[in-house]
Amino acid sequence: MRREPFEVDSFIHVVKRGTRGFPIVRNNADRWRFILMLRHFNDENISENWYRELMDEKISNTLARVPTWPNQKKIVNILGYCLLDNHFHLLLKEIIAGGVSRFMHKLGIGMTKAFNEKYQEKGTLFQGAYHSKTVTDDEYLKYVSVYIQVKNAFELYPGGIKKAMDNFEMAYEWATRYPYCSLGDYARVRKSPLIDMDLLEEMFTPKEYKSFAYDCMVGRSEFADMSKVEFE
């Protein structure tokens, strides 16, 4: 269900799943590599040896760029993300023609190559092409952001989403500190160079966003069951 080409300035919800539901990450080192790819693949000029160069500069545990690299030329804006064991969600903005497609192609190839080399596997890591939905208006954008950053993070909460909803305050705090989801940026727990927060910051303060997320999750909104933003 990939719908392309996207128009420039479109907002796109993307999900990409592991083949046959298998994990696409096995440990925190893999998860951090995913974050590094989000950071450095979003560039017209990424080096083929980007990871080795980060290692050489001893900055592979940060989001800093190699000093000798040219200035970053983004191909998408990343508004949100959440990584789970067997898939990931992204909220992207198309800022150049074909940017989303190029970014997802680079991400898919990069993750597959790194996984196969590390674990001596062969073949594809992912279940076909990525799935995407175009965000049609500001209200839909708000709900999609909660679906990606809160609902998916809650699924990772110890005890699952039901336990998270029974302890919303505690679970939300936990989710803001989950390092492989962008909710912490919106909660001001951290400030990452990955995320373009301008649009959602115009819509919400951190306190308002948390309240809106709660309303969505407990069923006080049009999109309460999230059925309108889920993929089939």
10-residue mean pLDDT series, the chain (232 residues): 74 95 96 98 94 97 96 97 97 96 96 96 91 91 94 95 94 97 94 91 93 87 57 54
- Cα–Cα distance list, 102 to 4, 15, 96, 130 (Å): 12, 15, 10, 12
Q: Alpha-carbon dihedral of residues 92, 42, 155, 119, nearest 10 degrees?
A: 150
pLDDT at 60: 97
pTM over 0.85: yes
Convert 164-195 into a string of H (helix), E (strand) and C (coil). HHHCHHHHHHHHHCCCCECHHHHCCCCCCCCE
Helices marked H in 41-79: 50-56
The pLDDT assigned to 218 comes to 86
pLDDT at site 173: 97
Task: Return the closest-CA partner of residue 87 out of 8, 148, 44, 171.
Answer: 148
Residue 4 has a pLDDT of 63
- pLDDT at site 14: 96
Please tell me the distance from the alpha carbon of residue 206 to that of residue 230, in angstroms, as a whole number. Answer: 24
Domains of the chain, CATH where assigned? 11-132 (3.30.70.1290), 136-218 (no CATH)
The Cα 55–Cα 91 span in angstroms is 29
- The predicted structure's pLDDT at residue 135: 93
